[in-house]
Each structure stands twice: as C-alpha cells, then as structure tokens.
Amino acid sequence: QKEVEQDPGPLSVPEGAIVSLNCTYSNSAFQYFMWYRQYSRKGPELLMYTYSSGNKEDGRFTAQVDKSSKYISLFIRDSQPSDSATYLCATGFFSGSARQLTFGSGTQLTVLP
Amino acid sequence: DTGVSQDPRHKITKRGQNVTFRCDPISEHNRLYWYRQTLGQGPEFLTYFQNEAQLEKSRLLSDRFSAERPKGSFSTLEIQRTEQGDSAMYLCASSDGPGQSTDTQYFGPGTRLTVL
C-alpha cells in the first residue's frame, strides 16, 4: 500500500464547476500537507500548504485536512479552463532527518469551456 | 528570484551510456532535492542535500546513480550505464531549510530522459 493514495481520475468538469480532489495517507506522523499543480511536461508548482486540521483558503482554492481520518482535499471554486492540469497531493515532515515529500500519483483535471 | 533551473531539459541516450544532469537551486536555498517521475505517477524521492552534505538517499538510488553538490550551490545527478527503465522525468527542488516551519520545496522544470 502506498503511503499516499490519490483519486486517480481523470476528472472532466464544465467551466464554473466546483472541483473536489482527494487524497488519503497512512502515516499519522506526517506533519504538513501540500498541493501542487503540474501542467503537461512541466515541473510541479506549489499551490497551497497546511499543517493543521481544518480549512485554508487562497482565492478560488481551499485546502482541507482531517488528521483524524488522514484525509486531504483540495476544492477549486469557479473552475477555469486554465485550471486544467494534474494535481498532486504531498505530505512531509518539518522535523527530523527525513525531509522528502511523499506524493500521491496525481489527478488529471480537465475543465471544459 | 529566477526559480530552480535544470539543464538539459531533454536528453535522449542509448542504453549503456552515461548521462549527467545539472540543477541550479533558488539563490540562498540550502536544501536541494532530486526526485524521479514516471508517466502517470507522482514524483518519487531520490536524494537530498543540505548545503554540500548528502543527508539522505532513497533505495531507488541504485549504485549506478550518483549525486553531488560540491560547493553547496548547484548539483549534478549522474546515471551510469543507463537502462531503459531509467527513462523518466528527473526533477530538482530546493527549499530554504532549517528554521522554516514548512521547508517549502520549489521545483524546477525537470529533465526528461529517454533511454533507447
């Protein structure tokens, strides 16, 4: 079992829809949680990070973490065609020697105009 | 701030050849990471440096792989005797390290390796 499991998609929605992207993780020791966006053949671009349970908003994006159920979500409001990309969730530690991120496999999103 | 840069962006090589990739991190970032990403998968950690010290290596980093960061600035990743299974996107990331609560990693554009 992978440490971070992500809904594989692909996901196709009409412009303006609310998008929900989801991940679960198995290691309760993970301390922070990130969402990256990756356009085709490009490097991942950081969207949001959070380290506590609850919601964090940034414009049209909301990251939600539930540590008790080990569940991570990203919501995109008023989705736009420019949001079409692969979305990667990632978890990590900010203490100790293991600093690498553990990624989900990504969800490919297409927003149709 | 010019971001993380990687060179080359694409590399095609024949099986058995050696290849070397370069990563230039964001200026003054003291942590540098290498990841590998295959099609349809998320990035997988290979190794990371704090300044010039290589602090951790994944079991994915076989003996054919070696990484260096000689002066704590740019880094190189070398693959010897390449195999077709090495075909992937090699991503570099950097972060500003100790004292930062999230150690946020910023990624470069990647080097896409194709082994024929």
pLDDT digits (tens, 9 = 90+) for B77-113: 999 999 999 999 999 999 886 555 557 889 999 999 9
Paired with A22 in beta bridges are: A73
* Cβ atoms A23, A89 nearer than 8 A: yes
Q: How many residues in chain A?
A: 113
- Shortest Cα distance, chain A CAs vs residue B81, angstroms: 25
How far apart, in whole angstroms, are the C-alpha atoms of residue B79 and residue B21? 9
How far apart, in whole angstroms, are the C-alpha atoms of residue A92 and residue B87? 26
- Relative to beta strand A54-58, strand A4-6 is unpaired
* Cβ atoms B32, B48 nearer than 8 A: yes
Query: Which of B43, B102, B108 comes nearest A103 by C-beta?
Result: B43
Q: B39-79 pLDDT, tens per residue?
A: 999 999 999 998 999 988 888 888 999 999 998 889 999 99
pLDDT at A50: 87
Interface test with A, best of B31, B34, B90, B101 (most A CBs within 10 A): B101
Residues in chain A, pLDDT under 50: none
pLDDT at A57: 94
